[in-house]
Amino acid sequence: MQNEKTFVIIKPDGVQRTLIGEIIRRYERMGLKMVALKMLVPTAEMAERHYTLDPEWLRKVGEKSIASYKAKNIPAPSDDPITLGKKVLTRLVKFVTSGPVVAMVWQGAHAVGIVRKMTGGTEPLSSDIGTIRGDFVLDSYQIADVSDRAIRNLVHASGSVAEAENEIKLWFKPEEILNYRLIQDAILYDVNLDGILE
Ligand code: ADP
Ligand code: MG
């Protein structure tokens, strides 16, 4: 379980806000181990493939958006999740290809769930304080829809172990993912604490 991996992208807004170090620091101090890292400007093809790896994503993203409008008692721009999802995809491709991003693989026990928790909910307006999206950015579904752009929420993080596996395969070659031991792995995972006292 301590080898669970998750995929993270610091999106163009995170790079432009000079938050690369802050974001990495947060995952790192949790005890997660960085096992792959690269900076690049994604192509439109990569961005689109990334978001359509899960054939259900279009519908899910549309449903989430509609639910968020409902919760705030504001009419959604459309009642059809797929229509909304397609719009979001177009906006996202434009956003993610607009400049450099930092792509990473983080490893550790429950890496997927822990990183999602630290990253926070999709919409910065309602993501919890203490999370990356809740602490450093102030966007919302509403502002994004009015301006016909993607929600700027600094980070992408895989939503499930299966999603992580597919995303890692898309963004990294197997040899780019490093297998190594950190000294701190012992205090995080070893059954025995032998070796602490001299
Ligand atoms: P998450 O990144 O939290 O997993 P999703 O997978 O549902 O969220 O959506 C992917 C990304 O698409 C979000 O992080 C956000 O940048 C953007 N997004 C989602 N819904 C909308 C929307 N209704 N309008 C604009 N951008 C959106
Ligand atoms: Mg997602």
Q: Given this model, what pLDDT does residue 9 score?
A: 98
d(CA 141, CA 92): 13
Q: Structure pTM?
A: 0.95
pLDDT over 90 at 130, yes or no: yes
Q: Given this model, what pLDDT does residue 10 score?
A: 99
Check if 119 has its Cβ closer than 6 Å to any atom of ligand 1: no
pLDDT over 90 at 82, yes or no: yes
Residue nearest to atom 1 of ligand 1 (CA): 122
Cα of 42 vs centre of ligand 1, distance in Å, is 17
- State the catalytic residues: 156
Q: How confident is the model at residue 5 (pLDDT cuts 50, 70, 90)?
A: very high
Check if 133 has its Cβ closer than 6 Å to any atom of ligand 1: no
User: Is residue 187 helix, strand or coil?
Assistant: helix
pLDDT digits (tens, 9 = 90+) for 34-67: 999 999 999 999 999 999 999 899 999 999 989 9
Q: Given this model, what pLDDT does residue 77 score?
A: 86
Looking at the CA of 122, name the nearest ligand.
1
- Residue 16: both structure tokens together: 């432009």
Cα of 151 vs centre of ligand 2, distance in Å, is 12
DSSP conformation letters of 36-94: EEEEE---HHHHHHHHTSSTTHHHHHHHHHHHHHHHTT---S-S-HHHHHHHHHHHHHH
Q: Given this model, what pLDDT does residue 69 score?
A: 87
What are phi and psi for residue 2, nearest 5 degrees? Answer: -70, -5
Q: How confident is the model at residue 195 (pLDDT cuts 50, 70, 90)?
A: confident
pLDDT digits (tens, 9 = 90+) for 87-104: 999 999 999 999 999 999
| Residues 140/69, Cβ–Cβ less than 8 Å | no
d(CA 163, CA 122): 16
Instruction: Supply the mean pLDDT for the chain.
Output: 96
d(CA 171, CA 105): 10
For the chain, list the domains and their CATH numbers: 5-172 (3.30.70.141)
pLDDT over 90 at 72, yes or no: no
d(CA 104, CA 10): 8
